[in-house]
Amino acid sequence: MAFFPTAELNGIKTTIIHPATEKHIVKFSAQNVYLVDETIDIYRTITLPYIEKEQFSLQWLYNILDHTSESERIIFEDPDPDTGFILLPDLKWDGKTLETLYLLALVHPKDIRSLRDLTGNHIPLLKNIFDKGTKAIEDKYGLNKSQLRIYLHYQPSFYHLHVHFTYLKHDAPVLRIQLNLIGGYLYKDTKAITSTLQQNYLSMCHLLLETGVQKITTVINEKITDIMSTMDLKKKLSLYDVEQIFWNLQVKLCETENDPIKHVRQYVIPEEISESTDLYDSMVRETADLLDSEEVQSLATTLVILIGWTLDLAFLASAKSIV
C-alpha cells in the first residue's frame, strides 16, 4: 500500500464538464492561434453569424443572475437592470490564495454579448462596475484599485458581457515583460512601434504556451523518472521525502543545458537572437536579458515545482507496485 502526502500538498485543481458536447471537446483541444484584424464588416458578416449559430448555452449564467444557482459565491451585487452586475470568483481561482485573485463581474443586461456591442450609452454601466467592483474587492480582500488589473477579453470565452478583475501579482511574467517594453518604447516615441510590430512581438508569448510548456514538462519528466526509480514506492512518504524529491529535481535540472529555471529564454524565444539594429530584434534581445533575471528564475522555480509534483503523482499512480 502506498501512502500519499496530505491534501494540502497533493491537491490538483481540475474542471469537469458533463455532459461534454462536441463543441466542448473542440474548445479544449489543442489549436493553432492567430491574430486577426477584425473590421466591423468582418464582425457583421462572419463573426456575429458564427456566434449566433455556435455559441454555448448561457443558461448556467442566467441561473447565477437569477439566483437559482451559486448564490452563495456572490461577493457583491448591484441589482439595477441597466447598470447592475454580480461579482463572484472565477472558477479558475481557489478563493483563498490572494496572489492569484480572479473575479468576474457579470452584467445584468442580457443583450450585450461583448465589447463589440458597447456604445456610449453603456458608459454608466462600465463606470458602475469599476467603482462598485473595486470598492467591494477592497472591502473584502483589502486590495486597492491601483493593485488590480481590470479588463475584457475579445474574443470572450462566452458571449455575455463580463469584466475580469485580477490581482496585479497574478500575471504571466513573459507577457508582463513584453507589455513593459512596449510601454517604454511608446513613452519615448508614440510612433516607434506599429500595430504589426506589436502583434509580431506579442505573439512570442504563445510559443511558451504552445510548445514551451510541453518541452519543459518533457525535461522535468525525465528527471522525475530518474529520481523515482531509486525509491521504494511501497514506503510511506513523509514531508521530508517530498522535500528531498524536489531538492533532487532542482539539482538534476541544474546539471542539464535545458534547465528551465536558468534558461527560460530557450522556451520562449523562437529563434537565435539577431545582433542587428532592427527594432524588433532589439526588443527580443531586451526580452531575453529580462528572462535571465532573478525574478523570472524565481517564477520558473515555482512552475517547475508545480509540474514536478504533478508528474510525481502521475508516476506513483501508474506504478505497478501501488495496490
User: What residues act catalytically?
Assistant: 162
Cell numbers for 134: 473595486
Backbone angles phi, psi at 139, to 5 degrees: -65, -40
Residue 279 half-sphere exposure, CB side, CA atoms within 13 Å?
A: 15
Closest CA to 287 of 267, 265, 303, 271: 265
Neighbour-count burial of 54, counting CB atoms closer than 10 A to its CB (0-12 exposed, 13-18 middle, 19+ buried):
exposed
What are the residues facing 86 on neighbouring strands?
A: 77, 106
Helix axes 279-291, 173-188, angle to 10 degrees: 140
Whether 117 contacts 111, CB under 8 Å: yes
Rounded (10°) CA dihedral 29, 151, 202, 266: -70
Give residue 82's Cα distance to chain centre.
31
